[in-house]
Amino acid sequence: MISSQIRDSLKSPQCIFNYVVNHLRFQGKKSERFKYKNTKYCYYRGDNGTSCAIGCLISDEEYKPEIEELSINKIYFIFNDLKTIEWFHSNENLLFSLQRVHDHYPIENWEWEFHLISIKFGIQVQPPFYI
């Protein structure tokens, strides 16, 4: 997981976008858990160490289970310092867009959705890297 120092170094929308997109690409799956009998739901921290587009920006020290099921604009209470609250608030539209891709689109559509976000925010999509 990310440290608050690394997150704070992501100063531009391009840096944030690159970090989150690379995280989701490398993870290659959604951050989910079973909530009801046979239904999976997206979580900031999912099964097997996964994290979503926002969860990957929350350090282990900051994470609190009670944020699960809350939208990004309602999780500020977990942060202890104004600098972090301001960082999330000032990037909220981009973060919300990235979260929407994770939560609402199948993985095979993510690249197209990343492209659409890049147009909306005037940033570049780096091509996927393959190992």
Question: Where residue 130 falls among pLDDT bands split at 50, 70, 90?
Answer: low
User: pTM here?
Assistant: 0.90
User: CA 38 to CA 82: how far, in whole Å?
Assistant: 40
Return the higher-pLDDT residue of 80 and 119: 119
pLDDT digits (tens, 9 = 90+) for 49-81: 999 999 999 999 889 999 998 888 888 878 888
Average pLDDT of the chain is 90
43, 33 in Cβ contact below 8 A?
Answer: yes
Q: Is the pLDDT of residue 38 over 70?
A: yes
pLDDT of residue 53: 96
Task: Please check the confidence at residue 8 and state whether its pLDDT lies above 90.
Answer: no
